[in-house]
Chains A and B, each alone.
Chain A
């Protein structure tokens, strides 16, 4: 069963700068990307978003939950 992983966008304001969950996850479940891109301009840090993508790989070790400084991540055993 695929674990449920939710990230509260309001709590995670600048994920590309924090990047703690992205780097600690042993299963590399997360991905971070800009939500918009413009010509001749770098995207502002607050216009990034982190998402749990490779959820089927999650082993529910809870490392991400523990490392997140803002308490933005919730990980639960999946239900069908």
Chain B
């Protein structure tokens, strides 16, 4: 049997991680000036959306064996676009900007995707650049929501994601996407 590669294309992750390095991006936010918070929110949204777009654009070209088999399974059964296509792009996006090696998936059934981040490089970068108080305002969630929403709309899902736990209050973030 052929020796397939089941992992994500490493080059792709590297390219995305350079393009979207949280540290560099966070410097542009100027969060220390209070009146810029609205601007910051807008640019975080743009960052999340763009990360989603680029992940999908690259990910649709670099098809690892897991994605290949998944697509075939979807063709055969007519199911699994939810949760797995969405999960794939969430994983690509987060693995590109986050320090952890696997995204902690809490649920991935035909009705719900939920995942958790016990650490976050974007939050950490904001904290380091602008202080704990700024970070704990959780403006960064605009980036995560934009990322999720862009992936959902790209694959024609009309669902509102929710944040069930946040770094500021719970020392972890947990998102839920439920149909």
A and B touch in the complex (CB under 8 A): yes
Q: A-side interface residues toward B, CB under 8 Å?
A: 39-41
Q: Mark B1-31, 1 if CB is under 8 A from A, else 0.
A: 1111000000000000000000000000000
Q: Mark B65-107, 1 if CB is under 8 A from A, else 0.
A: 0000000000000000000000000000000000000000000
Interface range on chain B: under 10, 10 to 19, 20 to 34, or 35 or more?
Answer: under 10
Task: For the complex, give the distance between the alpha carbons of A41 and B4 in Å.
Answer: 12
- Nearest-neighbour CB distance to chain B for A42, whole angstroms, equals 8
Residue of B nearest to A42 (CB): B1
Q: B-side interface residues toward A, CB under 8 Å?
A: 1-4
Question: How many A-B contacts at CB < 8 Å in the complex?
Answer: 6
Determine the chain A residues whose CB is within 8 A of the CB of B1 once the complex forms: 40-41
- Nearest-neighbour CB distance to chain B for A11, whole angstroms, equals 31
Determine the chain A residues whose CB is within 8 A of the CB of B2 once the complex forms: 40
Residue of B nearest to A41 (CB): B1
Determine the chain B residues whose CB is within 8 A of the CB of A39 once the complex forms: 3
Task: For the complex, give the distance between the alpha carbons of A41 and B1 in Å.
Answer: 6
- Nearest-neighbour CB distance to chain A for B66, whole angstroms, equals 15
Task: For the complex, give the distance between the alpha carbons of A41 and B3 in Å.
Answer: 9
- Nearest-neighbour CB distance to chain A for B112, whole angstroms, equals 33
Task: For the complex, give the distance between the alpha carbons of A34 and B53 in Å.
Answer: 46
- Nearest-neighbour CB distance to chain B for A43, whole angstroms, equals 13
Task: For the complex, give the distance between the alpha carbons of A39 and B3 in Å.
Answer: 8
Task: For the complex, give the distance between the alpha carbons of A39 and B65 in Å.
Answer: 14
Determine the chain A residues whose CB is within 8 A of the CB of B3 once the complex forms: 39-40
Task: For the complex, give the distance between the alpha carbons of A40 and B1 in Å.
Answer: 5
- Nearest-neighbour CB distance to chain B for A58, whole angstroms, equals 39
Residue of A nearest to B1 (CB): A40
